[in-house]
């Protein structure tokens, strides 16, 4: 899979403060990339540079979108005319970008789930509906990459679900690549394919969802009087996901076989000191890297 966006030591300095410090991001085509970091970590600064809204102090970025439509952007509140309908808001943007047709606007409304808003003015929309209209505005001109800064911030649970489903449709049905930041890490964990963690302007880790599941997710921890022999015994049971770690044995699959594992180990003359299931969330992993409180 090719990268649709990469950054090369992207840096932004405000006086003495480094808001972004030699950041190297890699976003694959057709994925949702979650950018994680507490307030002031540098997420918005990075997104603004990538979107062309701010110039880097040094470094660069490369977009391989295959078209001339640039990047769709929703940073902070969407620029919506409150006394206009959703259709009219999109019509104005389309005319400005020389891509207006009634059918095209209706297709944008459909993909974000706003086809039934009719003559209702955008000012009377719920926050979730306004965010989805903002996403539709970002999609105007058919960019292959859209950048969304905190699009679910402040939404009620229903609004969060609606925005999440919209973004999943864009990825799965339209093949659109999405870069998204969010404070709500549990929701981001349900949505993203890859992640980057920003702390004090630095990208301190970047990983795929598969890599996250190996580091986090749910797994079984086993500690015995002979961990080397025990991991061989467990693997002989057909449990390939057993691996030796400094903390003991970690088992990433066959989580429903803990009683059997214990029985086989004891039957083989091994003393089992500890055997339990561990759950680690994206938020837990983020906090373990940053050493911060739960205010990502």
According to DSSP, the β-strands at 3-14 and 26-28 are antiparallel
Q: How far apart are CA 110 and CA 6, in angstroms?
A: 31
Give pLDDT, residue 295: 47
Q: Are residues 57 and 8 in the same domain?
A: yes
Number of other CB atoms surrounding residue 181 within 10 Å: 25
Give pLDDT, residue 70: 78
Q: How far apart are CA 262 and CA 222, in angstroms?
A: 9
In a domain, 122, yes or no: yes
Give pLDDT, residue 40: 86
Cβ(143)–Cβ(175) under 8 Å?
no
In a domain, 130, yes or no: yes
Give pLDDT, residue 293: 57
Give the rounded distance of the alpha carbon of 82 from its chain centre: 30
Q: Are residues 76 and 167 in the same domain?
A: yes
Q: Are residues 53 and 180 in the same domain?
A: yes
C-alpha angle 75-79-82 in degrees, rounded to nearest 5: 145
Q: Are residues 119 and 256 in the same domain?
A: no
In a domain, 132, yes or no: yes
Give pLDDT, residue 69: 64
Residues of the chain with pLDDT under 70: 1, 66-69, 292-296
In a domain, 262, yes or no: yes
Sequence-distant (6+) residues with CB within 8 A of 90 are 105, 108, 109, 133, 136, 137, 140
Q: Are residues 191 and 257 in the same domain?
A: no
Q: Which uninterrupted H or E stretch holds 45?
A: helix 43-50
In a domain, 294, yes or no: no
Q: Are residues 173 and 206 in the same domain?
A: yes
The CATH number that applies at residue 253 is 3.30.70
Q: Are residues 137 and 248 in the same domain?
A: no
C-alpha angle 158-164-166 in degrees, rounded to nearest 5: 105
**How many domains, the chain?**
2
Indicate the pTM of the whole model. 0.80
Domain range enclosing 236: 218-280
Q: Are residues 262 and 164 in the same domain?
A: no
Q: Are residues 253 and 168 in the same domain?
A: no
In a domain, 27, yes or no: yes
In a domain, 181, yes or no: yes
Give pLDDT, residue 66: 67
Q: Are residues 237 and 258 in the same domain?
A: yes
Q: Are residues 241 and 223 in the same domain?
A: yes
Domain end, chosen from 184, 212, 240, is at 212
**Which tens digit of pLDDT belongs to each residue from 12-36?**
999 999 999 999 999 999 999 999 9
Give pLDDT, residue 77: 77
Give pLDDT, residue 68: 57
Give pLDDT, residue 38: 87
In a domain, 287, yes or no: no
Q: Are residues 195 and 265 in the same domain?
A: no
């Amino acid at each position: 899979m090719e990268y649709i966006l990469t950054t090369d030591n992207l840096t932004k300095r405000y006086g003495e403060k480094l808001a972004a410090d030699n950041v190297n991001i890699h976003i694959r085509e057709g994925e949702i990339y979650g950018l994680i970091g507490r307030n002031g970590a540098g997420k918005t600064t990075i997104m603004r540079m990538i979107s062309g809204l701010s110039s880097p102090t040094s470094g660069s970025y490369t977009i391989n979108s295959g078209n001339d439509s640039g990047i769709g952007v929703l940073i902070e509140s969407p620029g919506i005319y409150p006394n206009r309908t959703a259709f009219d808001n999109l019509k104005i943007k389309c005319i400005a970008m020389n891509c207006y047709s009634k059918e095209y606007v209706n297709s944008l409304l459909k993909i974000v789930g706003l086809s039934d808003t009719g003559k209702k003015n955008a000012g009377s929309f719920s926050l979730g509906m306004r965010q989805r209209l903002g996403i539709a505005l970002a999609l105007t001109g058919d960019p292959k990459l859209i950048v969304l800064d905190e699009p679910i911030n402040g939404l009620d649970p229903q609004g969060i679900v609606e925005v999440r489903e919209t973004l999943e449709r864009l990825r799965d049905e339209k093949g659109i690549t999405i870069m998204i930041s969010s404070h709500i890490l549990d929701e981001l964990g349900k949505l993203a394919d890859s992640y980057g963690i920003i702390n004090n302007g630095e990208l301190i880790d970047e990983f795929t969802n598969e890599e996250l599941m190996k580091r986090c997710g749910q797994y079984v921890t086993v500690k015995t009087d002979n961990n080397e022999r025990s991991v061989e015994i467990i693997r002989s049971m057909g449990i390939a996901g057993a691996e030796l770690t400094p903390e003991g044995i970690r088992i990433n699959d066959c989580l429903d076989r803990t009683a059997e594992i214990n029985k086989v180990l004891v039957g083989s003359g091994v003393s089992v000191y500890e055997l339990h299931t561990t759950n680690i969330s994206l938020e837990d992993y983020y906090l373990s890297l940053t050493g911060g409180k739960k205010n990502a």
